Amino acid sequence: MFGKIGAPEIILILVVVVLLFGAKKLPDMARSLGKSARILKSEAKAMKSEGKQDEAAPADPPADQAVPRTIQAAPGDVTSSRPVAEPSDTTKR
């Protein structure tokens, strides 16, 4: 009964989607969905590369090298990036 979806069913589904959301909102929804997918993909890639760096990195990096980090709202978005001041480790050893 539900095994095969043909052209008439797909057209009916598309008509219902256009009626529910409206033709004006569909491009914006598709654009935001694509942007979310790109962000998710870049974050997953960053996590993988970070894991590889952690394996190859020494256990205790030199304390005299401080590299400033930046936060970006979205991958490739340089207009809203800003430097981040990370708290320094003040524990006594």
pTM tops 0.75: no
User: What pLDDT score does 31 carry?
Assistant: 92
Total count of domains within the chain: 1
Helix axes 25-56, 7-21, angle to 10 degrees: 100
Question: Is 13 among the domain residues?
Answer: yes
| Per-range mean pLDDT, top range of 1-5, 17-21, 89-93 | 17-21
Residue 66 in contact with residue 51, Cβ under 8 Å?
Answer: no
Question: Is 38 among the domain residues?
Answer: yes
3-state secondary structure of 36: helix
20: containing domain: 1-54
**55 Cβ contact list (under 8 Å, min separation 6):** none
Question: Is 83 among the domain residues?
Answer: no
One-letter amino acid at 47 equals M
Mean pLDDT of 52-64: 62
Question: Is 3 among the domain residues?
Answer: yes
CA dihedral sign, ordered 81, 84, 39, 57? positive
Q: Residue 55 CB: number of other CB atoms within 10 A?
A: 6
Q: Are strands 82-84 and 69-71 parallel, antiparallel or unpaired?
A: antiparallel
